[in-house]
Amino acid sequence: MQKSTLGVLIVDDYEPWRHFMRSTLQQWPELQVVGEASDGQEAVQKSRHLQPDLIVLDIGLPTMNGIEAARQIRQQLPNARILFCSENLSPDVAEEALRAGAAGYLVKSDAGSDLLSALTSVIAGKRFVSRALAGHAFPETSDSGLVRDQGHVVQFYTDDAVLLDEFAALFRGSLGEGRSVAAIMTSSHRSGLESRLLAQGVDVSEATQNGRLCILDAAQALNEFMEPAGPSRERFLSQFGNILRTLKAASVAKGSGVVVFGEMVAVLWAQKKYDAAIRLEELWNELALTSSFYRCCAYPASAFRDGLINVPYAEICAQHSHVISAFEGLRSPA
C-alpha cells in the first residue's frame, strides 16, 4: 500500500453515515474515496471492480452481512485493508470480524475521537481495536485465521482512573484464569492498581508470594538497565527474561500464561528521552521472540499534544500490533 493516494470504499446501509465518512475522509489528501456501497453483495462487487486499498465496512448489512463480505473481499483482494466500523459492542462479534481478515474494529460511538488512529494503524498494517472493547484481549490471527502470539498493545489514555479500572479488570481476570501478571508502573498508578485489585477481591499478598503477581516501580526498574546512551540490551533481556521465567513457572494457564503491563516507556517519554522509549519498545518485542507473553503499555495522550505528533506517534504505533487511542484532532502521521 505504498501509494501517494489510497483508494477507500465506504460500505454502510445508512446514507447519512456514508456521507459523514466521506466528508471526514476527504479532509486527508492521502485518502481518496473511490466508491460507496449500501449492502454486502454490492461491497464485494465494487471491491472487485474498484480495487480499493482500504474498505471501511459495517457489519449489519442487507443481502450479505459485513463479516461474510469481508471474507469474500479478502479472497479477491488479499492486500487490501479492512476496517470494520460498527455499532455492535459484542467482543465475540468483534473477534469474528477480525478473524474474517479485518485489520481493525472501530465502534461507531468512538469514531469521533478514534477514527484517525484507526485509519493510521490499519493503513500501517497494525491491528486496531476500539477503546470501547479495551477490556477484551483479542487473539491476533493470521490471514488463514490461525491464532498466533497475542502481541503488543499500546493504549493512549486521557483519564488515569479509567486506565486503572481497565487494567485492574484485565489483571483480575487473568489471575482468575491461572495466568501470571507483571505490572511495571509509576508510583501513583501502583497504589491505585493495588487498591482496585483488593477492592475486586484479589488477594494481592498471596498472588505475590506464589509468584503469579509481580508489581514493580517503573523508575526503579529503569535504573537497573538504563545507561547514558539508552537502554542496555543485555541488562534488559537478562532482567526481564528472569522475571518472565519466574512468572511462567508459576502460571497454571494454558498457552503463554503471562500478561505484562509496563509504563517504563511513558516515564522515558515524560523525560523527553524519545529515542530511548522507542528503543525500549523494540527490546520488549525482541524479548517476545523467545518468550511468548501478552504485553501492553500506556502513554498519557497529553504527552503528544505539544507538536510531537507525526513521526514519534507513528514510530510508537509501528512497534505494536494493537492500538487503543483516545486522541482527538491529530494530524495524519507523515
275-312 pLDDT, tens digit each:
999 999 989 987 876 677 888 899 988 877 654 444 57
Mean pLDDT over 65-87 rounds to 89
- Indicate whether 77 and 160 sit together in one domain: no
Beta carbons of 182 and 258 less than 8 angstroms apart: yes
Beta bridge partners of 11: 37, 57
Q: How far apart are CA 189 and CA 331, in angstroms?
A: 30
- Indicate whether 168 and 225 sit together in one domain: yes
- Indicate whether 121 and 167 sit together in one domain: no
How many domains does the chain fold into? 2
Last residue of a domain, one of 133, 162, 193: 133
User: What is the model's pLDDT at position 325?
Assistant: 66
User: What is the model's pLDDT at position 326?
Assistant: 54
User: What is the model's pLDDT at position 140?
Assistant: 56
- Indicate whether 55 and 86 sit together in one domain: yes
In a domain, 197, yes or no: yes
**CA-based nearest residue to 36, from 58, 60, 17, 18:** 18
Residue of higher predicted confidence among 333 and 165? 165
- Indicate whether 175 and 318 sit together in one domain: yes
DSSP 141: B
The residue segments making up the domain with residue 314 are 152-324
Mean pLDDT for the chain overall: 84
Mean pLDDT over 318-324 rounds to 78
User: What is the model's pLDDT at position 292?
Assistant: 75
**CA-based nearest residue to 85, from 62, 109, 53, 54:** 109
Question: What is the amino acid identity at position 120?
Answer: T
DSSP 138: P
Q: How far apart are CA 31 and CA 23, in angstroms?
A: 11
User: What is the model's pLDDT at position 156?
Assistant: 86
Within 8 A by CB and 6+ apart from 48, the residues are 76, 77
- Indicate whether 156 and 125 sit together in one domain: no
User: What is the model's pLDDT at position 305?
Assistant: 62
Residue 149 has pLDDT above 90, yes or no: no
Mean pLDDT over 165-190 rounds to 90
Biggest CA-to-CA distance, the chain: 61
**pTM (two decimals):** 0.56
User: What is the model's pLDDT at position 137?
Assistant: 63
Last residue of a domain, one of 102, 133, 164: 133
Question: What is the amino acid identity at position 283?
Answer: L
**CA-based nearest residue to 151, from 3, 259, 278:** 259
**CATH number for the domain including 52?**
3.40.50.2300
In a domain, 269, yes or no: yes
**CATH number for the domain including 211?**
3.40.50.300
Beta carbons of 235 and 224 less than 8 angstroms apart: yes
Last residue of a domain, one of 133, 163, 189: 133
User: What is the model's pLDDT at position 1?
Assistant: 42
Q: How far apart are CA 270 and CA 332, in angstroms?
A: 22
- Indicate whether 313 and 204 sit together in one domain: yes
Q: How far apart are CA 234 and CA 269, in angstroms?
A: 22
Q: Model confidence over 33-61: pLDDT tens digits?
A: 999 999 999 999 999 999 999 999 999 99
Q: Model confidence over 216-273: pLDDT tens digits?
A: 999 999 999 999 999 999 999 999 999 999 999 998 865 557 899 999 999 999 998 9
Which three three-digit cell numbers place residue 278? Answer: 522507542
